[in-house]
Amino acid sequence: MFFDSERIGTMRAMILSETREERQRHLDVLLEFQQSDMLALFRAMDGLPVTVRLLDPPLHEFLPQEEADITALGEKLGKPVARIRETIDHLHEVNPMLGFRGCRLSIVYPEVTEMQVQAIIGAAVQATEAGLKPLPEIMIPLVVNVREIRAITEVIDRGMRRALRERKLSIPYKIGTMMETPRACLGADRLAPAVEFMSFGTNDLTQMTYGFSRDDAGRFIPQYLDKKLIDADPFVTLDQRAVGRLMKMAVSEARAAKPGIKYGICGEHGGDPRSIQFCHDLGLDYVSCSPYRLPVARIAAAQANVGRQTDN
């Protein structure tokens, strides 16, 4: 979802809802916003796949932290400031990147995921009716086992049925998952049959493998590099010895369980030439990175491909 002040305000109201009915009212507003956003994406990507990761960030990131902002939000929503502050404190986490985020949001608040899917497929219906060819791919983030995928797939199916209710269209779509935890990589053979594509979230996978916080590691990584305790910043260049080993195991076991399953990576490593070469050698199908790193990524991918053709 693209976030502006109106969307953020509605998101905050949804998070601060005290009943499911109240939350649903705000989700209905968010549905309109997100369906409009998705339609714009399908127009721009006509005939190309659009991968949408389900809501991933911790919910507290959407709420204000400064007292003046909390007071203003209370006045806007007509809610006691003390109640809002209580919710903010309740959502605060010591280590939010390992906390209440990713697919865990879908498990606790399935109605949020159902709204997202309804928006994606609803927009795909509109795009199809306009003569476009939308190809949505829905990605489940931060899983640790196949039971999560099965539970969330049921929610996705409900959202799909709501979007297609009384429609005579069939929208092709895929469900995939992010491989961001070591446990997911070690259980890739069980996850693969439940999805159609898999993507390594190498930022989080590196955090969890190293035990380094991506947001805080800048305090000591320069010293580790100076003292040659590590060869490279693992958040810039993919660590092939440990993180790469998990990836190799996951790809091998997933493709043994489901031959031909599409595999890629998402994260800043997707714009690093050495990491792209490793992914190419591993047989991944794609890399994804920030827009500003695309030129470097394209050149590195081309060089890797030329190198393979030369070896052959």
pLDDT at residue 309, as a whole number: 58
Residues 169-185: what's their mean pLDDT?
96
Render 35-102 in DSSP notation, one character per residue.
HHHHHHHHHHTTTSEEEEE---S-GGGGS--SHHHHHHHHHHHT--HHHHHHHHHHH--SSGGGSS-T
| pLDDT at 290 exceeding the cut of 90 | no
| pLDDT at 144 exceeding the cut of 70 | yes
pLDDT at residue 10, as a whole number: 93
List CB contacts of 151: < 8 A, sequence separation 6 or more.
106, 107
pLDDT at residue 4, as a whole number: 73
Which class for 204: exposed (0-12), middle (13-18), buried (19 or more C-beta within 10 A)? buried
Q: Where are the beta strands (DSSP E) in the chain?
A: 49-53, 135-140, 174-179, 197-201, 262-266, 286-288
pLDDT at residue 97, as a whole number: 84
% of the chain with per-residue pLDDT over 70:
97
Domains by residue range for the chain, with CATH? 47-59+96-311 (3.20.20.60)
Q: Which two tokens stand for residue 101?
A: 């985020």
Return mean pLDDT, the chain.
Answer: 93
pLDDT band at 93 (very low <50, low <70, confident <90, very high): confident
Give the dihedral sign, CA 49/255/309/302: positive
pLDDT tens digits for range 264-281? 999 889 999 999 999 999
Task: Please tell me the least confidently modeled range out of 132-141, 204-213, 296-305.
Answer: 296-305
| pLDDT at 310 exceeding the cut of 60 | no
| pLDDT at 2 exceeding the cut of 80 | no
